[in-house]
Amino acid sequence: MGYKRPESVLVLIYDPQDRVLVLQRKDDPDFWQSVTGTIELEELPIETAAREVHEETGIDIIGSGYELVDTRVINQFEIRPQWRYKYPPGEFTNTEYVFTVCVDSTTPIVLTEHLTHCWLSPAEAQQKVWSQSNKEAIENHFLNLC
């Protein structure tokens, strides 16, 4: 297995009732998050976002006609020390592109990389997710709706 690129996406999935989908990681059950994933070689961030949503939840954004929105927010954060072995030596910072998508929460969720999921209010989701960039994505999205 090669190293991961230090570039990724975060996709905030919410429903028409403004509930946020959060996922519990298998490799760290205390870590709850939105959909995330590494941008593959020659892949655009928006392509990664659609692919990762499909891989992690089974939701086919394109096939379902959902609108994947590029928020134009780009975060940089320190890679967690316990995950640095996945990246090239000397890489300590990840660049993350943030997207949102509104989906029907009755759509079945098929988990492949997570233990469980739940739909939460924005405030509950902000309390549950681990990463600061995920908390900010939730806050920014729902503040912009007001």
Residues 72-87 pLDDT 10s: 999 999 999 988 999 9
Known binding residue 34? Answer is: no
Cβ atoms 36, 57 nearer than 8 A: no
Contact 26, 115 (CB under 8 A): yes
CA distance 23 to 119: 9
Q: Is 36 annotated as a binding residue?
A: yes
Residue 135, annotated as binding a ligand? no
56 labeled binding residue: yes
How many whole angstroms separate alpha carbon 27 and alpha carbon 142? 29
CA angle (45 as vertex; 82, 112 as ends), nearest 5: 55
Domains of the chain, first to last = 7-145 (3.90.79.10)
pLDDT of 146 strictly over 60: no
Residue type, 127: Q
Strand segments, DSSP code E, in the chain are 7-14, 20-25, 32-33, 35-38, 68-78, 93-102, 114-120
According to the annotation, is 131 in a ligand binding site? yes
22 pLDDT above the threshold of 80: yes
Average pLDDT over residues 46-51: 98
